[in-house]
Amino acid sequence: MRTISLQKENGFPLAIQAVSVDEVGATERADFFTKRSVKKDSKLAALYLALSMCDLTTLEGSDTPGRVQQMCAKARFPVPPDMIEPHLQKRNLPPIPAVAAVCVYPSMVPVAVKALAGSGIGIASVATAFPSGQAPLEVKIEDTRFAVEKGATEIDMVINRGAFLSGRYQEVFDEIVEIKRACGDAHLKVILETGELGSYDRVRLASDIAIEAGADFIKTSTGKVTPAATLPVTLVMLQAIADHHRRTGKKVGMKPAGGIRTSKQAIQYLCMVKETLGTDWMTADLFRFGASALVNDLLKQIYKELTGRYYYDKVFSID
């Protein structure tokens, strides 16, 4: 096992062990969770939990204030109240939960802030030259500060994969440290873009660097690169979080993003999180889904659990 020697901002040395991941073992272990399910009497609670962990996202060059406002309305009110409220009352069930956060470009943060005022829903913004990460550090810092000043409560940054793949690990570490400082009170989610890293060993190393640099969350993907989130990659990242927690007691969050489209997949991820990290991570404070398409399927399955039948998909969204 080789050691990556870095330097903290205070000048003290930092040694990161480059863990060698058993790819076959990780794949087989992750495949185990595809065969897991929850009992009938627990399924509705699992669907509610998964919905409360979702981040609704719009990150297109064609984004408009109207599009962001529409997404925020869905974040606050996922389903028409008169469609589902009678069924909830009949079974004495709590309301359908809102999602955890919305994620937009920095220029759209003020629109989201106004639309979500008083809701308690987080406002995340991508920064640092999303999705490429190819910009000078000064530009990335200003991008982050702008989003936070406009009201973002969470920042999703991307690492410079070119620097990482070239072995410039100190540069990657230093950028995360600087962006974390620029975040102030906002939480920092560090996107590794695992589809570009090429191996589980690199995913593990990038996870360890991000965690040591101060990430509040580590995140698989931007959603702009294939493959995005997968169970094996997420398992490797969860293990990095588990090992760090064992050493330090610090809890770091996890966000798989991209490619998670069904409730069945979401429940598989939840089972993996619980068995790898424990019940403390079964909260939106420490686990998120970056999967807007997942929200509609969760709502569809919740309606099925409540009524015994499916509703047509478009009722849950006018996107």
- Write down the pLDDT at residue 39: 81
Q: pLDDT tens-digit profile of 247-262?
A: 999 999 999 999 899 9
- Write down the pLDDT at residue 80: 79
| Low-confidence residues of the chain: pLDDT under 70 | 312-319
Domains of the chain: 3-316 (3.20.20.70)
Please give the full DSSP string across 161-199, using - where no structure is assigned.
Answer: HHHHHTT-HHHHHHHHHHHHHHHTTSEEEEE--GGGT-S
- Write down the pLDDT at residue 81: 73
Residue length of the chain: 319
- Write down the pLDDT at residue 316: 66
Does residue 194 contact residue 209 with C-beta atoms inside 8 Å? no
| Peptide bond preceding 256 in cis form (omega within 30 of 0) | no
Pairing of strands 13-17, 3-7: antiparallel
- Write down the pLDDT at residue 312: 66
Indicate the DSSP class of residue 287: B
Residue 119: alpha-carbon gap to chain centroid: 20
- Write down the pLDDT at residue 291: 82
CA distance 69 to 45: 29
- Write down the pLDDT at residue 231: 97
pTM, full prediction:
0.94
Neighbour-count burial of 248, counting CB atoms closer than 10 A to its CB (0-12 exposed, 13-18 middle, 19+ buried): exposed
- Write down the pLDDT at residue 242: 98
- Write down the pLDDT at residue 308: 85
- Catalytic (active-site) positions: 156, 219, 255
Does residue 65 contact residue 298 with C-beta atoms inside 8 Å? no
Does residue 140 contact residue 173 with C-beta atoms inside 8 Å? no
- Write down the pLDDT at residue 233: 97
